[in-house]
Amino acid sequence: MRCAMCRNGETREGKSVITLTGGTLVAVFRNVPAKICHDCSEEYFDKETTNMILQMAIESFKKGVALELKDWDKLSFS
């Protein structure tokens, strides 16, 4: 797909790091599947992945976890 940010590059399948903060709480997700622009490095995540990341972060924040680090490749989604 053509990049919506730079309007020049094409995106390619890759992996990214997402960091979410809520007050003093931090959730970091590594190896998240993304489409990444080869020109400007803008990252795009599909709706399902985005929803899963947000849900996991909300659950961690509700538990009061100050710092959460998750590796997408090691998560089980069954």
Residue spans per domain, the chain: 11-74
Quick count: other Cβ atoms within 10 Å of Cβ 32?
21
Q: What would the pLDDT profile of 16-53 be if each residue is shown by its tens digit?
A: 999 999 888 899 999 999 999 999 999 999 999 999 99
- 37, with CB counted inside 10 A (0-12, 13-18, 19+), is buried
Note the pLDDT tens digit of each residue in 59-72: 988 988 899 999 99
Amino acid 49: pLDDT? 95
Query: Which CATH number does 11-74 carry?
Result: 3.10.20.860
3-state secondary structure at position 2: strand
Residue 78 pLDDT > 90: no
